[in-house]
Every structure is written in C-alpha cells, then in structure tokens.
Chains A and B, each alone.
Chain A
Amino acid sequence: EDQVTQSPEALRLQEGESSSLNCSYTVSGLRGLFWYRQDPGKGPEFLFTLYSAGEEKEKERLKATLTKKESFLHITAPKPEDSATYLCAVLGASYDKVIFGPGTSLSVIP
C-alpha cells in the first residue's frame, strides 16, 4: 500500500541554523512528489514538484531533493517567517489519488 512518512514530527531551530526535513515514501511507480508549506488555519501553499531520482529544486532558502525512496527539504539559514508545517505528498502510477504525509512542524526562534 502506498505510504508517506515524515520526520521529524517537530523541529525547533535557532534563526540561521540550517537543517533538513525528511519524507520517506512507498509507492508503486512514483509519478510526482510534492512539497507544501501550511500555516496554522490556512490551506497548503505549493512549494515544489519533483519527478525523478536525482532531481533538485530551489526556492529562496529552500532546496528539495529526491531519491528512489525519500526526499529531503533542506532549509538554509532559516528565518522566523519560515516557521510552518511542511507537508510532503506523492502521486503513484495508479493516478487515482494523492497521498500526503503527516507533516513536520518547524519553529524558527529569533
């Protein structure tokens, strides 16, 4: 069965302290892996789509990478405004649904 897990569940960083979030997935034929950012009480905001192992994408302080079993969201020199829950989602070969992970709650302390 297709599955997505994320670690850590919560992460607390000092401003400027770089780190990585992990998304591990089990899916029959990955068609796409997606990263979203979600602020409390709001809808998810799209960040990246990755399609194949070895692919990387960057946006400001964020960089997403993909292997055959997992994806990492690297955060370089984070700022307090980067505090949010980061969600990972996958689409498998069946194309019939998107599966989200539980998310990682990131807090960046000034």
Chain B
Amino acid sequence: QITLKESGPTLVKPTQTLTLTCTFSGFSLSTSGVGVGWIRQPPGKALEWLALIYWDDVKRYSPSLKSRLTITKDTSKNQVVLTMTNIDPVDTATYYCAHRHYSYGGRFDSWGQGTLVTVSS
C-alpha cells in the first residue's frame, strides 16, 4: 500500500522560502519509471501542478514557477523535498505530493492528505 504525507510550516511570511517534505512508503523512488509530484490548490480553486522528480533524478517544473522551485529526493529516507523561494500571499494553498505511476499515461494514483500553507505577514 502506497502512502504519502506532506510536512512543513503552516504559516510563512512573504518573501521567505517555503520548504515542504513528502515522506512516503510502499514504493521505492529508485524503481524505473516512478516519480513523485507536487500539486497545489489555492482555497476554492483548481489543482495546479508544480514539480516532479523521477527515479533517475530527472526533474520537471511548471514553466510559470520554474525560477522559484527546486525539487530534490533522498531515496534512502523515502523523501522528496520541494522548496519555493520568494513566497507571496498568492501562494497560499494546500500542497499535495503524489505518486506518479510508472506507465506512459502519467497518472497520479496515490496522494498525500495535503498540507495547508498560509502566506501572511
């Protein structure tokens, strides 16, 4: 059974850097084709994909946020970390990490419960 859980600060001040950790179990991020993605959802709004890291350390970022995001993995700890710089109130959202199935279609078949991050001074 695959499980993922997000952790990090619930309140961040504008201009600061946000660091979120996804701790997972039930799969290995060294298995070919597997990935972990980050998706966020501002209150009352749609899902927005942010970043993805593959088993081979290939990384992909949302074009609109690429300059502010960094995604890394620690395979030995079963963790994926997302950092977002220069945080703004518009970044207030629930942040989810999700397991990307290895198949070509690229579905996210397991999600964490999400963590709400509020950006406010």
Partners in one complex: no
Binding site for B on A (CB under 8 A): none
| Interface, chain B (partner A; CB < 8 A) | none
